[in-house]
Each structure stands twice: as structure tokens, then as C-alpha cells.
Structure 1
């Protein structure tokens, strides 16, 4: 597992190095995973505030976590060093491993965003794994073999994990009965809510 996640981290960093050095052609346009992409009037994956899957007490905690994330993101550094073209959906299904080689697929959600968001997404599904500390350490070490990460970047990982969870809450409530069942929507929303509540409590 360590070797695989180290290689995934290196691959993500290489992708960021390539996009940072790339000059987009005239007319190139993609959406942005920036402040508006998460918290604007029309977030990329939909609004979560109206989700039917958040009960009263949990909704209150999620909204408090939103306030904390909004404050943090409004003051977070945005520069060529840490913001550029990202994949934005590095879930397990989009990271293929063959003979130790990593291949990234499905660039539908690719756009402008913080590099740390790609790392947070890559870690999101692994949070409950017993070896999660090893996975996170290997991914970050692999990334750092190809591209710099500051202490502040790493300290922001809980924030970007929460941003992924907010995006999921919006995605779920806008697609239930279409792409997913209500049961799956409820389960995914509960997981996402737990992530943002953990962020609220500084865990």
C-alpha cells in the first residue's frame, strides 16, 4: 500500500507540474473549484443547504462547519504555486494501477482549483481504513518527491477534505432518484456530514 500511494502522490504532483507549465490555447475555458465553485450561488456540484438527508441537529453542525470553511477559504493563499488546473475527482475508480504504473482517467470535473483539493479527494475514501495514517503519509511523501508542499499546505488538508464533503452533499441531493437511490444518498450524505463535523471540531 505504501508503494502504491507514494506512486499516486508522485503522479498527482507530476500532473500539477505539467499543468503549471502549460499555456492554455486561446478560448480555453473550464469551471473553477474556487470559492464560488464550492460556496457561490451555483456551486459546481449543486447546493447542499436544501439537502433532505440532513436532519436538524446534523444540519446545524454542517452549517456551522460551512461558516468555518468559508472564513478559512476566503483568506487562503491562491497563487500559481498552489492553484492551477486540477483533476478534481481522484476517487479510486479514476486511479488505475497496472504493474506499479499509475494512470489517471475521467477528466470531466477537471478545472481550475487548489492543488490540495486533488490530494484531499484522493484520500477521502480512505479515511476509515486502519492504515489511513500510512496512506496519507505515503501520498504526501510521493507528492513531495516531485513538487513542494509547505507546512501550511498540509495543515489545510482537513479544510479541503471538508470542501470535498460539502461538494458531495450538493452532488447527492441533486442526483437522488436519478443517478442514485435515496438509500445511497442518505449513506453518502451521512459520511460527508461526519467529515465536515470533524473539521468543525478540529479533528
Structure 2
């Protein structure tokens, strides 16, 4: 019998949808209508139509976050929803009050299921338009303020995103012979790790619960003009500056040939952030966090077996390794703030 990842994509998705329909009826009391695929990487994410409006269903496809980690993620999202400060997907509970449940997908086996209220809006807010940089800076600061001022339950469990976790214990350096790393990729990542470690730890007050993957595609421009945040699957404990670097790195990719546009966006983003809370002290090491963000992407691509990631991943990894190598040789890292 073929492995699930070797089945045709349409067969995989049909199996995921069938399992989701059964689980929604049996565990949530929801009879869904149309399913619309939103993402299919290490999770399978659908928009579903229901009698009470659209919702998002997320199903695990491969080994990922264990159920208790996912339950902690959804507990944070529930806390954000109750605070009415940051617009984010509010999780629904099963009929017996749990955030996470399990289903069996034909050919795959066990898969976890979570369901969220649908957040209306357009992904990748048009960063050049007035107010967008300010909105993105404000919501990033509000997210960090909530994380810093909200007590976490004793059983809260999420990954950590420090330099040792992303580099030394990351997938790429624990699989240094991965073909996507090429002849010198692992050596480049080790040299980056040594350089960052040599600068010492960041202040503990700069660390807390962060989104972990706060790039522009995980922000929405809502109908009322505010910015919402989605996809908390990588939230964990780390430096607030890593979230800031992730936002700005994703904008820099859009205007790497327009330094003035990037500098203007960064200034307006950071100014808005500071109106909510002070910038982290570790912003003086911003270049390190740009490197960590790109190492995070290298880990994601090299660990993925998804065919969609395979279409863009090899080129992306090669480009990131090349710019890390150029940085080690003396170049300023792309996205570094100059003032």
C-alpha cells in the first residue's frame, strides 16, 4: 500500500475532507457545507461554510506539534479573543469542551483537528498604502504586550525559538548532509551560530511568548481597515525582536531594490510599535534576528516533504545560504536597519 505522501494530491485532500466532515459532525455538532482549501503544507487548512458563517479547519498532515502543544496555542488565542485587543482566529471547543480533537484520515492515520472562527480580510496588506505600516506595528506591539502581561497556565507548553533551538538544534544542522544545503550550507549555518552565540544571551525581559512566524502573509487587512493576525501554529517562547525581524524581513523581500521604501516602512512600523510599548533592547542586535529568521525558513524547507514546498523551497534555501555566506564575508545582511 503506498505511503500517504506518495498518493496523488487530490486523493490526499479527499481523504482529509472526508475525515474533517465526520469529525465536525461528531465532535463539534457542525454540519459543514462547502470546503475551500486555504493551505496544504505540514497542515491542511480549509475554509468551511456553516449555518453560523464561515470557519477555518486545521488538520495535521505530518508529525508536527503534539496535541498538548496545540491546546496551549489555542489557549493563547482564546485569551486574545477575550481581551478584544488583537484580532485573531478565535478557537471553538468540541462538544465536551476541548480545543483539540483527533480523527483518523484514511491512508494517513491519526490527525489532530482544530476549528476557528473565520477572520475576514485580505492577506499580505498592501504595505505601501497609508496606515498599513502603522497598523502592522501596532498589532505586533499589542500582541507582545498581551503576551507579557498575561499569566500562562502551569501546563502551557510551546517550543522555544532561541538561537540554540533554531540553529544548533534546528533541522538543518541536525541533518547537515541534507541535499538542499549543498556542499557548504551546514558549515555556513554553524559559522552563523558561532557568531550569534559569541555575542551572548539577550536580556530575559526581551523574551516571552511570540507569534514565531509573523510574516506579511500571516497578517490580514480587515474590512474595517485594522490589521489581524493569523496562523499561530509556530507560536512559542523567544525574543520579541524575532517577531519584529520576521515582519520587516518579509517586507524587505518585496522591496529589496527600493531601499527608501523599506526604510520608510520600517520607520513607520517601529514608531507605531513604540506608541504601545518600548522597543526591545535586543533591537541593537537586529541583524542577528534577521539571520535567525532565515535559518528558521531553512529548517522549515529542509524538514518538509510537501510537494508544494518542493516547488519553491530549493531555490529559497540556496539564496538564503548564499546571503548568509556573503554576510560572514563582510556584507551587511539584507534587511538590516541603518538608522
Question: Shorter chain as normaliser: what TM range?
Answer: 0.7 to 0.9
2:236 to 104, 111, 124: 111
2:279 to 144, 149, 164: 149
TM-score (norm 2): 0.53
Match of 1:87 in 2: 211
| Contact in 1 for aligned 2:162/2:239 (Cα 8 Å) | yes
Classify 1:109/1:3 alpha carbon distance in 2 versus 1 (closer, same or farther; 3 Å): same
Deviates most, 112-121 or 152-161:
152-161
Give the deviation of 1:199 after TM superposition: 4.1
Richer in helix (by share):
1
Q: Secondary structure at the match of 2:321?
A: helix
1:27 matches 2:151:
no
Classify 1:51/1:3 alpha carbon distance in 2 versus 1 (closer, same or farther; 3 Å): farther
Match of 1:158 in 2: 287
| Contact in 2 for aligned 1:158/1:199 (Cα 8 Å) | no
1:64 matches 2:188:
no
Q: Secondary structure at the match of 2:241?
A: helix
| Contact in 1 for aligned 2:216/2:251 (Cα 8 Å) | no
| Contact in 2 for aligned 1:116/1:160 (Cα 8 Å) | yes
Deviates most, 133-142 or 105-114:
133-142
Unaligned runs of 5+ in 1: none
Give the deviation of 1:57 after TM superposition: 5.4
2:166 to 16, 38, 42: 38
1:192 matches 2:323:
no
In structure 2, distance between residues paired with 1:124 and 1:184: 18
In structure 1, distance between residues paired with 2:148 and 2:306: 39
Give the deviation of 1:88 after TM superposition: 0.6
In structure 1, distance between residues paired with 2:172 and 2:228: 31
Aligned-residue Cα RMSD (Å) equals 2.2
In structure 2, distance between residues paired with 1:10 and 1:100: 13
Deviates most, 22-31 or 63-72:
63-72
1:135 matches 2:255:
no
Deviation readout 1:128-167 (Å, 9 max, x if unpaired): 40211112222211111111126x5332111001001111
In structure 1, distance between residues paired with 2:160 and 2:232: 13
Classify 1:26/1:56 alpha carbon distance in 2 versus 1 (closer, same or farther; 3 Å): closer
Q: Secondary structure at the match of 2:252?
A: coil
Deviation readout 1:167-202 (Å, 9 max, x if unpaired): 111111111454522x41221102322443354325
Q: Secondary structure at the match of 1:47?
A: helix
Give the deviation of 1:115 after TM superposition: 0.2
Give the number of the structure with larger relative contact order, counting CA–CA contacts within 8 Å between residues 6 or more apart.
Answer: 1
Unaligned runs of 5+ in 2: 1-127, 333-339
